[in-house]
């Protein structure tokens, strides 16, 4: 059967909700994507190496804060989703959506090991007529240059016996205004027939599908989105440093500048970049660009500025302690507030808070953290030495023990009044205390 006929049959079945969708990786991307399919009446077979996630899905138990018990129970109660660690069952699905990590190695080069191992597993069970879609962020060319040769070890031919596409995830955990099915979905594929299959699949759950001319174009779209954020965050971080020395509040500047109805978009500074996208994705393009003889100086400069932010914050904290308390960081008791990389989530991936804690410990501080969503520091490759540290209690007696507090993540719902009453100095990297400036301004230093 030709791919065109395969595509026509696939589209008909997609429209009839007669496909079984396989989702590999039931994490921050794969779980809400699966939820979108089952909520719209599609059968989902989820795959993960973590049996605990599969058990949680079967039992309707949450394992992420932003996808709570009500949503997990709803997924279970549809009866449309099954989760398994048995990858031999990949032969049962009609579409395979790959949602696995794409980190950097120690040299800031792309680490596609999760993608390649996943494709090797798929190749063992691939059958004619299936659609394989990569959702993980990567450099242009990955779908056709990396994935296709591995999948073809099955003996089947890409674009002939089976279809491929690329559709970048656009998840924003904790965002109250958008979720998987309401965020437009970009789709690119090597051929028109493959693109038609992918568009039909996602059109069943996404409010708007945006087809582009190729898989490489779709891969470039995701990188462009995150490079845009990285560069603009670097810009305001640099402005923050300059304006601080001038005695100018960068947050006041940005709030006034954003009243201009055109030509300006507000970005806000912070203690560094976190999350699974912004600190990592730009370097995928930097690496690939070298193959074509290009040096991405703008991207690399932004990376340098953002990477430097934790050091700047600690230097600022040290000066503030000297000026306000006549104390050094060494031997002082420091409370870091917020371990997550952004507010209102329990996600610590690439969180600058972890780097801040490491830097404070290196300087001899006695460090504790508080995060209402993260009771224990998880094990990470870069910060293994602080794994197991437990969150402090938020009581007046406990807070009085600290010389200084450092706000790294501005979770909503934290009552800062007891903190400001108990701790002699609070260094704020998020402008979280702006409403307390009149009453406690002598205790607050922005960083």
Which residues are identified as catalytic?
277
Distance, CA of 169 to CA of 70 (rounded, Å): 23
Distance, CA of 329 to CA of 295 (rounded, Å): 39
To 10 degrees, what angle do helices 215-246 and 250-257 make?
Answer: 120
- As a whole number of Å, the end-to-end CA separation of the chain is 63
Contact between 230 and 273 under an 8 Å Cβ cutoff? The reply is yes
Distance, CA of 310 to CA of 130 (rounded, Å): 46
DSSP β-bridge partners for residue 211: 187
Q: Which two tokens stand for residue 318?
A: 């040290």
Distance, CA of 43 to CA of 20 (rounded, Å): 5
Q: Which two tokens stand for residue 368?
A: 């504790």
Scanning 270-349, the segments in alpha helix (DSSP H) are 282-291, 297-325
To 10 degrees, what angle do helices 282-291 and 297-325 make?
Answer: 140
Distance, CA of 263 to CA of 367 (rounded, Å): 43
Question: Can you tell me which residue has the tokens 């806000």?
Answer: 268
Question: Can you tell me which residue has the tokens 């994705």?
Answer: 281
DSSP β-bridge partners for residue 133: 97, 165
Write out the DSSP string of 160-218. TTBEEEE------TT-SS--GGGS-EEEB-SSHHHHHHHHHHHHTT-S-EEE-S-HHHH
CB neighbours (10 Å) of residue 59? 10
Q: Identify the CA nearest to 171 among candidates 318, 14, 13, 29.
A: 29
Contact between 373 and 398 under an 8 Å Cβ cutoff? The reply is no
Contact between 409 and 428 under an 8 Å Cβ cutoff? The reply is no
Q: Identify the CA nearest to 409 among candidates 345, 362, 339.
A: 339
Scanning 326-427, the segments in alpha helix (DSSP H) are 352-362, 396-399, 417-422
């Amino acid at each position: 059967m030709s791919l065109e006929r395969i595509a026509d049959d696939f589209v008909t079945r997609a429209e009839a909700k007669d496909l079984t969708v396989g989702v590999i990786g039931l994490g921050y991307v794969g779980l809400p994507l699966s939820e979108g399919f089952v909520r719209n009446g599609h059968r989902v077979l989820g795959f993960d190496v973590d049996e605990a996630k599969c058990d949680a899905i079967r039992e309707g138990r949450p394992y992420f804060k932003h996808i709570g018990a009500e949503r997990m129970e709803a997924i279970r109660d549809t009866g449309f989703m099954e989760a398994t660690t048995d990858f031999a069952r990949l032969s049962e699905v009609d579409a395979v959506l790959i949602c696995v990590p794409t980190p950097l190695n120690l040299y800031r080069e792309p680490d596609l090991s999760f993608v390649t191992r996943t494709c090797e597993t798929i190749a063992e069970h691939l059958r004619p007529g299936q659609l394989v879609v990569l959702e993980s962020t990567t450099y242009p060319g990955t779908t056709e240059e990396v994935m296709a040769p591995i999948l073809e070890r099955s003996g089947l031919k890409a674009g002939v016996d089976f279809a491929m596409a690329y559709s970048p995830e656009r998840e924003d955990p904790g965002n109250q205004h958008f979720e998987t099915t309401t965020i437009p979905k970009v789709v690119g594929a090597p051929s028109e027939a493959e693109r038609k299959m992918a568009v039909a699949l996602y059109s069943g759950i996404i409010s708007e599908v945006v087809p582009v001319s190729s898989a490489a174009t779709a891969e470039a779209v995701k990188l462009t989105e995150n490079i845009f954020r990285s560069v603009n965050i670097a810009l305001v971080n640099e402005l923050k440093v300059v304006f601080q020395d001038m005695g100018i509040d960068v947050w006041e500047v940005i709030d006034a500048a954003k009243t201009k109805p055109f030509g300006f978009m507000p970005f806000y500074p912070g203690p560094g970049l976190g999350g699974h996208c912004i600190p990592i994705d730009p370097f995928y393009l930097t690496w690939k660009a070298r193959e074509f003889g290009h040096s991405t100086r703008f991207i690399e400069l932004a990376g340098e500025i953002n990477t430097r932010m934790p050091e700047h914050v600690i230097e600022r904290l040290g000066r503030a302690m000297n000026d306000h308390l006549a104390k050094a960081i060494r031997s002082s008791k420091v409370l870091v507030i917020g371990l997550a990389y952004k507010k209102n989530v329990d996600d610590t991936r690439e969180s600058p808070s972890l780097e801040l804690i490491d830097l404070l410990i290196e300087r001899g501080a006695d460090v504790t953290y508080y995060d209402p969503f993260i009771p224990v520091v998880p094990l990470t490759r870069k910060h293994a030495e602080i794994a197991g540290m437990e969150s402090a209690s938020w009581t007046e007696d406990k807070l009085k023990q600290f010389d200084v507090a450092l706000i790294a993540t501005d979770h909503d719902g934290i009552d800062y009044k007891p903190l400001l009453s108990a701790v002699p100095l609070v260094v704020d990297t998020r402008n979280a205390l702006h409403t307390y400036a009149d009453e406690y301004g002598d205790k607050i230093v922005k960083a």
